[in-house]
Amino acid sequence: MKQQRKNWKGNTSKRHNSAFFLFVFLGLLSAFGPFVTDMYLPSLPAMTSYFNTSVSMVQLGLTFSMLGLAAGQLVFGPLSDKYGRRIPLLASMALFLVSTLGCIFSPTIELFVLLRFVQGAAGAGGIVISRSIATDKFKGANLAKALAVVGAINGVAPVSAPVVGGALLKITTWRGIFVALFILALALFACCVHFNESLSHSKRSKESVVKTLSLFKKVVHNRKFMLYMLQLAFAQGILFGYIAASPFIIQEHYGFSPFAFSLFFAVNAVAMASGATMSVKFKRQEHCVLTSCAGMLVCSVALLGVLLAGANVWVFETLLFIMLFMMGLSFTSSTALAMAAVRGLAGTGSALLGACCFLFGSLVSPVVGLGNILVSTGITFVVCAVCSCACALLAGKRKPLPENTRQTAPATL
């Protein structure tokens, strides 16, 4: 029996997932979290009537799912450094399936909100471990390409998820959206079963679970990682500010219909995906981040002026498109640089990176609704862009990453 187990382990160690499978798998994992939080947004009014509760109570489901996404990454990241990527992934997908069934059949809004936290925490496993797998499998330019796929999908997902949810509501109820999430989780669970472990036993943390959590201290003391993490978090602040404010700006200020608003969302999703894809054209990712931050700063200042002046919607949309394109560059490059800085603690670093971005997004989203939404949105854009640019400049002054982090990965994955 022991000999059979040994042979089985030997066979799996020689088996490799194809590059195509890895890219698709990582893309789906990275998109999973944003779909968990945003896909059901169009159904909020219907849920208010169904549960016979207030709008703010239903919106707590969104807040708690984002908190779950942040907290879950802090748990699954270190666990994946200790136990490998595959087992925590399977556990997170199984937990998501159970919590999603609970949401579908939840009799009260209170139970629904609680299950949304669990759902978010479970979905966090896919986000944090997808970045860790990319760091395990790729180096240098290939790491940037892998994270470009992850970044492109992760950038598109938050703005495309509500569009998908709105389309589903034409043929089903809010429960149907959660059924769709359940089916997506089943597909990802099947992919997790097929996935071959990317972190060898020799590279796993040998510390206890409690001591593994102390790895966060080592990551926090890595100044280059922290600067790129904060740069990305401020860029995410612009994204979440845009998501929170754009429905009111496009529909109420400019007078467009909900369907037209979804088209704006789709176009802007293309902008971010294009930016993430173009980031690999830069010879140095540091230059890509600086270009991105400079572009976001210029566009944010221009957008503040446009919103204050009440300019034409097409001027507003053009500047927004360019800014989101620049944001796409930043998401990919800064993630690659941050993860390369903590290659030996990829799971922990990925956890802290994701948690910080979601926490920052949850803080920025309500800010755009304070006072005049046009003014508060424009100011939020500018402040986040200035801070993001400052972090990028400070990170650029740090000692460059070792040359071996820029090498290309072997052809066999």
Structure tokens at 218: 């080592």
Output the domain CATH number for residue 54. Answer: 1.20.1250.20
Query: For position 207, what pLDDT does the model report?
Result: 67
The pLDDT, as a whole number, for residue 5 is 45
C-alpha distances in angstroms, 212 versus 44, 47, 71, 339, 343? 39, 41, 16, 18, 16
Is 270:329 a contact under the CB 8 Å cutoff? no
For 142, residues 6+ apart whose C-beta sits below 8 A from its C-beta are 408, 409
The tens digit of pLDDT for each residue in 163-183 reads: 788 788 888 888 999 999 999
Q: Distance between CA atoms of 311 and 366, rounded to whole angstroms?
A: 24
Tell me the pLDDT tens digit for each residue of 389-398. 999 999 877 5
> Of the segments 238-252, 329-343, 373-387, which one has the largest average pLDDT value?
373-387
Q: Are 51 and 107 contacting, i.e. CB atoms less than 8 angstroms apart?
A: no
Please tell me the pTM assigned to this model.
Answer: 0.67
Question: How confident is the model at residue 63, as a pLDDT?
Answer: 74
pLDDT at residue 109 tops 80: yes
pLDDT band at 399 (very low <50, low <70, confident <90, very high): low
pLDDT of residue 115: 94
Q: Is residue 413 part of a domain?
A: no
Answer whether residue 10 is part of any domain: no
Domain, as residue range, for 74: 19-196+209-396
- Total tally of structural domains belonging to the chain: 1
Residue 401 lies in a domain: no
Question: Would residue 45 count as lying in a domain?
Answer: yes
Q: What is the average pLDDT value for the chain, to the nearest integer? A: 80
Q: Looking at residue 390, what is its pLDDT?
A: 94
Give the helix, strand, coil percentages of the chain, each rounded to 5: 85, 0, 15
Q: Flag whether 407 is in a domain.
A: no
Region of poorest pLDDT, from 71-80, 84-93, 117-126, 306-315: 71-80
Q: How confident is the model at residue 8 (pLDDT cuts 50, 70, 90)?
A: very low
Indicate whether 140 belongs to any domain.
Answer: yes
326 within a domain of the structure (yes/no)? yes
List, for residues 56-67, the tens digit of each pLDDT value.
Answer: 677 677 778 878
Query: Which carries the bigger pLDDT value, residue 189 or residue 348?
Result: 189
The DSSP output letter for 201 is: G
Residue 289 within any structural domain of the chain: yes
Burial 246-262 (b: 16+ CB within 10 A, else e): bbbbbeeebebeeeebb
> Please, what is the angle between helix 346-367 and helix 223-248, to 10°?
30
